[in-house]
Amino acid sequence: MPENNFTLLPFLKSLISTAGLSGNEAPVREIILQAWRPLADEITVSRLGSLHALRRGTGPEPRRRILVSAHMDAIGLIVTGVTDGFLSFTSIGGIDARILPGQPVIVHGREDLPALIVAPPARLLPESMGDGVVPLEYLFADTGLLPHEVTRLVRAGDLISFAQPPQEMNGEILCGHSLDNRASVAALTACLDELQYRRPAWDLWAVASVQEEITLGGAATSAFDLLPDLAVAVDVTFAKGPGSSEFNTFTMGKGVTLGWGPDVHPGLHRAIKDIADRLEIPYQLEVMPRHSGTDAYALQVAAQGIPTMVIGIPLRYMHTPVEIVSLKDIYRAGRLLADVITRLDPAFLDTLNVDKPA
């Protein structure tokens, strides 16, 4: 048997302690590359920067191919100007301005600089703002350096990433930034690790995609390049929290979600649901009546069209520096992926029916 060197928690902590904002994923890609190299038969990087890892199956050539995509990019900030040593910025991806003041960050200038997000005193803000949320245009990053030092080290266009350290909490819960979607990268890595001990017929293309938070360009181009027969997008979804609704949030620690909606091929959904039922892997149904907000939106329309599924990992406080996820759900997502790749007969493709009722 192959040696097992993969341990989920330290790996995930390393992922969320590393920058890798949309369009600038190289730092985190290197960590994933090192983890995937012993688990894959072939690794390449796409022209946009997505990581492609091939694990060859045992079926006869030409083998059917499954692509599983988990985006590795993260939200963050980008410097728009320097005034008297303070940095103005705007967002990369969706960021709630309410959570920014007081946050520790790293400014990636000529060198990495620790900084804090700060707001001017209320008396210096427009009266029309009252006591409301301070918009991004009135917030600044303060490095503590003198103005001439800041001007020398930082320019417009430099990136700013969150710097909250990972925190283990009660009940096998991890808190930190960028768990959207590094949690799913960890689940896909757990799947690759599990497949060392199995002999699936399918070729698996594991993809750590770029730019999901902005363009979906990584998934779209990887699917077009690799042309899989089936695709699965693994991403986080909204976990139940204070004041959350019952119908579109999901209990954290109680299993993955299985997407159902226009981004999802009904035949593939049924097949994966049946495998989860047979193996008693807990899951929750996630209704997605429109764009799923995941790589699936790009995967399913690549080339001639690819039957696609969405698997979700419940996460609280999405798009903040204090996202929370259950390690149990990450393990479950990895196991379900491995079981689908192992147990789904490639002949299933010949019977795939988009019109059969759920």
Q: Give the list of residues 6+ apart from residue 135 with CB closer than 8 angstroms, or none.
A: 97, 129
The listed CATH number (3.10.450.50, 2.60.40.420, 3.30.70.1520, 2.40.30.40) that belongs to domain 76-162: 2.40.30.40
Count each helix (H run) and each strand (E run) in the chain, helices first.
Answer: 8, 17
pLDDT for the residue 1: 34
Pull the structure tokens for residue 102: 């007081």
DSSP characters over 241-255: -TT--SSS-B-TTS-
In contact, 84 and 147? CB cutoff 8 Å: yes
Tens of pLDDT along 158-173? 999 999 999 999 989 9
201: alpha, beta or left? (left if phi > 0; alpha if psi -120 to 50): alpha
Tens of pLDDT along 82-121? 999 999 999 999 998 899 999 999 999 999 999 999 998 8
Percent of the chain at pLDDT > 90 equals: 86
Distance CA 56, CA 228 (A): 13
* DSSP character at residue 37: G
pLDDT for the residue 353: 67
Query: Where exactly are the structural domains of the chain?
Result: 8-74+177-351, 76-162
Pull the structure tokens for residue 287: 């209704």
Rounded CA Rg of the chain? 21
Amino acid type, 304 = Q
Lowest-pLDDT choice from 16-20, 60-64, 88-92, 112-116: 60-64
Q: 8-74+177-351: which CATH architecture?
A: 3-Layer(aba) Sandwich (3.40)
Q: Give the list of residues 6+ apart from residue 24 with CB closer than 8 angstroms, or none.
A: 159
Q: What average pLDDT does the segment 230-251 reach? A: 92
pLDDT for the residue 103: 96
In contact, 252 and 240? CB cutoff 8 Å: yes
Distance CA 332, CA 339 (A): 10
pLDDT for the residue 247: 80
Q: What average pLDDT does the segment 286-292 reach? A: 92
Q: Give the list of residues 6+ apart from residue 289 with CB closer than 8 angstroms, or none.
A: 261, 262
Q: What average pLDDT does the segment 216-224 reach? A: 97
Distance CA 340, CA 64 (A): 14
Q: How confident is the model at residue 123 (pLDDT cuts 50, 70, 90)?
A: confident
Rounded mean pLDDT of the chain? 94
Report helix, strand or coil for 193: helix
Tens of pLDDT along 334-351? 999 999 999 999 999 988
pLDDT for the residue 352: 85
